Amino acid sequence: MSPERAPAAVAAVAAGVADDAVAATPARFDAAWLGVRLRAMLGALRGRRLCVAYSGGLDSAVLLSALVALRARERFVLRALHVNHRIQPRSAHWARAARLRARKLRVPCKIIDLTVEHSRGQSLEAAAREARYRALAAELACDELLLTAHHQDDQLETVLLALLRGSGVRGLAAMGAVTPWAHTLLLRPLLPVTRTQLEHYARTRRLDWSEDPSNADERFDRNYLRRAVLPLIRQRWPTAAATISRSAAHLAEARWLLEQLARTSLQEAHDGAALRVSVLRRLAMPQRRNAVRQWIAERGLQLPDHRRLREICGPMLEARDDALPRVSWRGGELRRYADRLFAFGAVASRMSPPAIEQWDWRARPWLALAGGGALGLVRDRHGDVRLAALPRLLSVRHRRGGERLQGSHGRLALKDLLQVQGLAPWERGAVPLIVHAGRIIAVADLWLDRAYRTQDERPADRGRFRWRRSAAEYDDYD
């Protein structure tokens, strides 16, 4: 689930705390400090609906406890979500313990059971993280904010791992305090706080928490960094976590500026759901990569790696107009047709055309199409459809190949019509064909048989076909 996809109002709240990204490490952590921090991030807390991603570990236990201490005074609504990945033998026990501890705090806690599947080349840890955030997003109400217990030491690990992976500005900016995410906001109020401070809070208040033994497994990169590398770094540079967090905040600001530049670059390139290749070609290569990267993120897709991004912005955009290049990665796929560039999700539909559907257009003006989108027949005083000529029951199907239409000057190949209309090859298989007595009488809202066109009808007897398109992903290159 992409953090970039969020309503404008939500993004505006996130932008409002941008200057607070380099919050100082507190002298000590307690509920009073957390209240000040949250008000700086959100403004008034009264009436807010807060949801804690509650693993039951030390960090989230401290966050939940401190929020409970604030709840009566600030008058917000609080609940918790625990995700059971069912990876560890004691996962079910931890889930029950989390619910019990939340109940003692009088906090509703829902358990989400997952089955984590990871694809080839994807680590189990990464697959679990993606599945966890998808599940959390699905559970949140539209006005509910998600809080996680990431702290300053987590930020240090994230930045160092990003450096070791060769990440760019986006990756090195690491975790933001407030991030537009799904349909809401993801809050990380503990980023200025050290793990030592959280441990002190937990022990002085005698909190209970669960320990995941996999956190000691140094086969995982993050654990190795935490246990073997960071103690040496801290021995030499005791303030490493604070200073590297400050660098991450500077990079977050640079990322924001690059995103604004990208949106400016994309203004002229937008063509519906696609981008104009000719406009992208006019951009200098660094600006082109920045714009394409931003567009992919705004489409809610995982970003491609460095090599594939260079392939997209180089050979793919520079290819001949009659080529049909595509670039795929684990998180998505880009396809080009003529002067347009399209983006698709990782699990592109490979369906064969759906069967014929019967449509009583008088009883049901809009028909949901099996391949996605919808077809409508609406009354329109300026419409070109002679409603009286239409039978009550129509058939709707998709292309099979070789169809011909009765045009004004003889027979017309459906394939030629769709090419003239500028539809990309994979869009053509999703075009709904309206059929009566075995004859195609209309092609979506693109073409209408002259026998059904208006002549001298009254405005009340006129209508118009409407086709609401979706991202058609048929592999029809006919």
DSSP assignments along 310-337, one per residue: HHIIIIIHHS-TT---EEEETTEEEEEE
CA distance to 78, 338, 458, per residue, from 102 (Å): 11, 57, 67
Are residues 314 and 250 in contact, defined by beta-carbon separation less than 8 angstroms?
no
Please indicate, yes or no, whether the overall pTM of this predicted structure exceeds 0.85: no
What local confidence, expressed as pLDDT, does residue 5 receive?
44
Q: What is the average pLDDT across 34-46? A: 96
Q: What is the DSSP letter of 238?
A: T
Task: List the structure tokens of 150.
Answer: 């990431």
CA distance to 84, 137, 187, 467, per residue, from 144 (Å): 21, 10, 11, 35
- As to burial, measured by CB atoms within 10 angstroms (0-12 exposed, 13-18 middle, 19+ buried), residue 60 is buried
Asked whether residue 474 carries a pLDDT value surpassing 50, the answer given is no
Nearest partner of 76 among 30, 107, 111, 104, judged by Cα:
107
Nearest partner of 403 among 417, 413, 418, 394, judged by Cα:
413
Q: Residue 203 is which amino acid?
A: R
What local confidence, expressed as pLDDT, does residue 1 receive?
44
Handedness of CA 160, 161, 167, 170 (dihedral sign): negative
Task: List the structure tokens of 95.
Answer: 């889930």
* pLDDT tens for each residue of 304-327: 999 999 999 999 999 998 888 999
The CA distance from 358 to 364, in Å, is 11
Nearest partner of 469 among 418, 401, 415, judged by Cα:
418
Task: List the structure tokens of 408.
Answer: 């004004």
Strands 433-436 and 462-468, bridge-based pairing: unpaired
Question: In 55-105, which residue ranges form alpha helices assigned H by DSSP?
Answer: 58-74, 91-104
Measured in degrees and rounded to the nearest 5, phi and psi for residue 395 equal -105, 145
Q: What is the average pLDDT across 260-271? A: 96
The CA distance from 376 to 394, in Å, is 12
What whole-number percentage of the chain has pLDDT above 70? Answer: 90
CA distance to 39, 40, 214, per residue, from 43 (Å): 4, 6, 38
pLDDT band for position 372 (cuts 50, 70, 90): low
Nearest partner of 234 among 342, 141, 160, 319, judged by Cα:
160
The CA distance from 344 to 384, in Å, is 34
Nearest partner of 362 among 463, 437, 454, 444, judged by Cα:
463
Are residues 101 and 56 in contact, defined by beta-carbon separation less than 8 angstroms?
yes
Asked whether residue 9 carries a pLDDT value surpassing 60, the answer given is no
Q: What is the average pLDDT across 130-159? A: 94
Nearest partner of 68 among 99, 107, 94, judged by Cα:
107
Asked whether residue 7 carries a pLDDT value surpassing 70, the answer given is no
pLDDT band for position 438 (cuts 50, 70, 90): confident
- Is pLDDT larger for residue 104 or for residue 372? 104
Task: List the structure tokens of 137.
Answer: 């997003």
Task: List the structure tokens of 50.
Answer: 């807060």
Task: List the structure tokens of 218.
Answer: 């140094």
